[in-house]
Amino acid sequence: SSAVLEAIENVIQDVLKSLAQKKAPVLTLANRSDWRNIEFKDSVGLQMIPHCTTKQIRSDSPRSAPKFALMLKILSVIYKMVQSNTYATKRDIYYSDTLLFGSQSVVDNIINDISCMLKIPRRSLHILSTAKGFVAGNLSYTEEDGTEVNCTCGATVFTVPSNVQGIKNLISHAKFMLIVEKDATFQRLLDDDFCNKLSPCIMITGRGIPDLNTRLLVRKLWDSFQIPIFTLMDADPHGVEIMCIYKYGSVSMSFEAHHLTVPSIKWLGLLPSDLERLNIRKDVLIPFTKQDQNKLASIQKRPYIACQPMWKKELEIMAASKLKAEIQVLTSLSSDYLSRVYLPNKLQFGGWL
């Protein structure tokens, strides 16, 4: 915490120095959403290059002055919280002055910018985000406040903890971990008692694009148990994108890649080649939209696809067919096909990439 306080004090000292010299204060931060500042490393995923281009938030420019003021405001909130050892969610910060901030996304974006500028992970800034992910299966742990969580009891679902760093005493006999894209599929597998039927496993869903806590938990479980991690996504560009976020990280959070990515994650399904192999009827598939085409084209150009020849092939199949499928498409074969046939076969015979 002293490092956080010192980092904030340095920023404020620079502002005061500029004012003393009658110059307009400026905040400088890395351009974190620019692909040119990102390098791909097999062992880490997408990470920021050491000397990347920066942008300035100026206090004397009408365009950036409001953001400059908001960044100082949130820095003061963080400083007080670290000093008093209290925590707040991003939502709490937004609701402390909704008129000033205008929207939740403004707060979220500034917090990421501050984290990047200070080179300090967000949870060390005492800011928690409300977790939206779920976890179930063969896992128990103790939360920071001493609450004992046992996910092993049947079809119980637990929300991913909001302070993943604080959890301890992790125990699991799981043979693998399954990351499920959507809540509906996750619930369906729970109803079918999938976590216990095949062999004990841990299931996690970020319920779409994963939030930071879900990604931190996946990484923590990987560090703790070193078991295989598989992903179950829709066979569409959006599903592939979500899987890549878990595996390689995202451009906007590349400055924190070391805590968030698990490059050993495997693509279990739904593979575009599965649709042909299982003779899925064309009438239950969904035609691509222009947006899907653009998203797929952008994914195909990403640096990590080049080192994944099998993925490349799957994306080419998807691009050629211009059709996408949700995991639910497997119910056209039988209502419990996913948990009774598809997943057991895949896991038994190594049907992942």
> What letter would DSSP give residue 52?
-
120 — pLDDT class (breaks 50, 70, 90): confident
pLDDT at residue 218, as a whole number: 92
d(CA 202, CA 214): 13
Once rounded to an integer, what is the mean pLDDT over residues 95-102? 88
Give which of 161, 322, 306 is closest to 236, Cα–Cα: 322
How many CA atoms, within 13 angstroms, populate the side-chain half-sphere of residue 336?
A: 9
173 pLDDT higher than 80: yes
**Arithmetic mean of pLDDT over the chain:** 87
131 — pLDDT class (breaks 50, 70, 90): confident
154 pLDDT higher than 70: no
d(CA 194, CA 338): 10
Query: Per the residue annotation, which of 87, 95, 141, 342 is the catalytic one?
Result: 95
pLDDT at residue 188, as a whole number: 87
pLDDT at residue 194, as a whole number: 84
37 pLDDT higher than 90: no
280 pLDDT higher than 80: yes
153 — pLDDT class (breaks 50, 70, 90): low
Find out whether 217 and 160 touch, Cβ atoms under 8 Å.
Answer: yes
266 pLDDT higher than 90: yes
Residues 6+ apart with CB under 8 A from 61: none
Residues 6+ apart with CB under 8 A from 200: 137, 138, 172, 173, 174, 175
Partnered with residue 137 across adjacent β-strands are 202
pLDDT at residue 204, as a whole number: 93
pLDDT at residue 238, as a whole number: 93
Residue boundaries of the structural domains of the chain: 1-128, 134-349
Once rounded to an integer, what is the mean pLDDT over residues 311-329? 90
What is the CATH code of the structural domain delimited by 1-128? Answer: 1.10.10.10
Q: Which pLDDT tens digit goes with each residue over 207-262?
A: 888 888 899 899 999 999 999 999 999 999 999 999 989 998 877 777 677 778 88
pLDDT at residue 163, as a whole number: 81
Tell me, which fold does domain 134-349 have in CATH? Dna Topoisomerase Vi A Subunit; Chain: A, domain 2 (3.40.1360)
The verdict on whether 141 is a catalytic residue reads: no
33 — pLDDT class (breaks 50, 70, 90): confident
> What letter would DSSP give residue 209?
S
pLDDT at residue 314, as a whole number: 92
pLDDT at residue 222, as a whole number: 92
Q: Which pLDDT tens digit goes with each residue over 39-83?
A: 777 777 887 777 777 888 888 888 888 999 999 999 999 999 999
pTM (predicted TM-score): 0.79
Q: What percent of the chain has pLDDT over 70?
A: 98
Find out whether 324 and 236 touch, Cβ atoms under 8 Å.
Answer: yes
